[in-house]
Amino acid sequence: MTTTASLFRNGGSQAVRLPREFRFEGERVRVRRAGRGVLVEPIFADVTDWFAELDRFGPEPFMADGRRQPSTPERQVFGS
């Protein structure tokens, strides 16, 4: 989903007024440059918040079906 947000000055800083659907919980966020853009991400209070955020990627555990890897070819042992 792409939308626009408005910029404004707050004292000596520039601020972004986020639309309702993009609001963050808490009072602080992490900000970093990414190419020509800026990423704004939540700061997790503890590891349980971090794991809860991972749940949004789906309930399926990572590699639940196991690792699919080609079989190893038979090799000749030295001296045979």
Least confident of 12-21, 34-43, 52-61: 52-61
Listed by start position, the domains of the chain span 26-59
pLDDT of residue 50: 75
CA 22 to chain centre: 15
pLDDT at residue 47, rounded to an integer: 78
Q: d(Cα 23, Cα 19) in Å, to the nearest integer?
A: 7
Segment 38-51 shows an average pLDDT of 82
pTM over 0.85: no
Strands (E) in the chain, as ranges, are 6-10, 13-17, 29-34, 37-42
